[in-house]
Each structure stands twice: as C-alpha cells, then as structure tokens.
Amino acid sequence: MLIYGDTNLSNCHIDVSSGGELSLGSVTAEFGSGQGIIVYGTVRIAGATLKGAGSAVWDGVHIHGAGSVLSNVEIQNAVNGLSVYNTYDVSLHNIAVSGSSFDGIRIINSSVEYASSFHPDYIVTNNARYGVYYDGHYNSSFEQNILKANMYAQLILDGGATLVNAMNSRIYEGSSQGIMA
C-alpha cells in the first residue's frame, strides 16, 4: 500500500501482514484509542506526523519485520511511540517522539541502524516512563540524540542489551534517572 502526498488520514488502524509493504510519505495520520500501525512485513515512512486524534492515546507504531525504514517521522501521544520487536535491519533516522503514556521508543531483542548524517537521530521528550528503552540484543550506535524530560529515565539498557558508541547526545531534565543500565 502506498500513501503519498499531502494526505490526511483520520480514525484509522493499519496492519501490515508478513510479506506486505506499507509506504507513507508526507502524511498526517490521526489514530483513535486502540488504533495504530502494526507491521509484520515492511514499512517505509518518510516525512509523516502520526498522532492521537484529539485527546486519544493511540497504540503507536509496532514493527515486527525486517527491512523497515523510518525517516523524518514525528510520533505524538501514543501508549508507546515506536516499538521494534525481535527483528533486525530496521533503520531509524530523525525520529521525534513525545507525549507517550509509557515509553517513547522501545527496542526489544532487535538491531537498529542509525545514520549519523541526520542530526539528531532521536528527539524523545515528555514521555511518561522511559525515553528510549533497549531490552536485549546488540546495537552498534547511539549518537546525536536529544532525550529530555522523560519521567523515569532518559535511556535504559535492560535484559542484556548492549549499546556501543553512545556519544554526542544530550540527556537532561528527567525527574529520576538519566541513564540506567
């Protein structure tokens, strides 16, 4: 499925099954409570704003399949803004997540690629629990990020997660921990 141009989507839920592909570009999408983007295939999102409709807290973006690419994406007011589960070869560039009722970005047993040419790669602010949460697996780089004012920790490594080359990032104004490992 391809959705491009100055498109507004509202009150939608999108499932991408294994083998399927979704491409979103220059899109503003509003989701209701219990709605979101669930991906078992491949997703390519560029230049999109994804948010809850009105005061709705939506389910966010959940990626379970390899080969997905997100760049210049803004995610607002989700339960968990962006979650990547049990996969590899996912590229995230210039992702902004704010106002999640749980975690901004969750990387669970997955490897994620970053492009240091985009500054910053993550801007994660004002989420109710953690800014960026890694659980398990090896990730090679965490550079050029801004993590600010997330409630409990800005960056957390759990479950044997390994993060190499964590540098050139601003981590500040959390009400509890900056980095937990």
Q: Tell me, what's the pLDDT at 119? A: 46
**pTM of the prediction?**
0.91
Q: Where are the extended beta strands (E) located within 32-81?
A: 37-39, 42-52, 61-63, 69-76
Check residue 6 and give its pLDDT: 66
Mean pLDDT by 10 residues, the chain (181 residues): 73 92 91 95 95 93 95 96 92 92 93 58 89 84 83 88 78 78 75
Residue 58 lies in a domain: yes
Decide if 74 contacts 104 (C-beta within 8 A): no
122, β-bridge pairs: 95
| Gap between the Cα atoms of 50 and 22, Å rounded | 14
> What is the pLDDT, as a whole number, of residue 32?
93
Residue at 77 is within a domain: yes
Domain membership flag for residue 152: no
Overall domain count for the chain: 1
Q: Tell me if 155 is assigned to some domain.
A: no
